[in-house]
Amino acid sequence: MSEVLVLNGPNLGRLGSREPDVYGAATFDDLATLCRDAGRRLGLHAEVRQTDDEAELVGWLHEAADGRLPVVLNPAAFTHYSYALRDAIAQRTAPLIEVHISNPAAREEFRHNSVVAGVATGTIAGFGSFSYVLALQAVAELLAEGKD
């Protein structure tokens, strides 16, 4: 089984209680289970992590780059302003799919810009937790095609 890192940024550990009208009722543990199950069906071993710490997230992206590991990344609020994250993603050596639970383009103005989208393989947003399943499908396809 190919390994994929499913990395999540700040406040996503609070899914379930955090703005359920925007992010739904599923908890972070529910999301992690969904990703592991979907990954297994696709022949991927999904390792799911979450941090509120920008430095830790940058470190995980370095780990992925060094290990040639594909990544599904929800950068959360870092999406909109973290050039450190963008620079870490630019070093990627395998596909990296940016995901969002909500559709940032349909929300407040400050969410309309992603500083990381330009260095990601692609972006999936607005499908709730299912955004992650779609991203894992994309990773599986890209790996099968031998693309990075």
Contact 130, 103 (CB under 8 A): no
Query: What's the min distance (Å) between Cβ of 26 and ligand DQA?
Result: 12
81 is catalytic: no
What distances in angstroms separate CA 110 from CA 32, 99, 132, one per listed residue? Answer: 28, 17, 23
- The residue ranges that bind ligand DQA (CB under 6 A) are 11, 74, 76-77, 79, 100-102, 104, 111
23 is catalytic: yes
Query: What's the min distance (Å) between Cβ of 89 and ligand DQA?
Result: 15
Query: What's the min distance (Å) between Cβ of 44 and ligand DQA?
Result: 20
Of 6 and 101, which has the nearer Cβ to ligand DQA? 101
Measured at the alpha carbon of residue 101, what is the angle toward residues 98 and 27, in degrees to the nearest 5?
120
Q: Which helix (H) or strand (E) holds 142?
A: helix 130-144
Question: What residues are annotated to the active site?
Answer: 23, 100
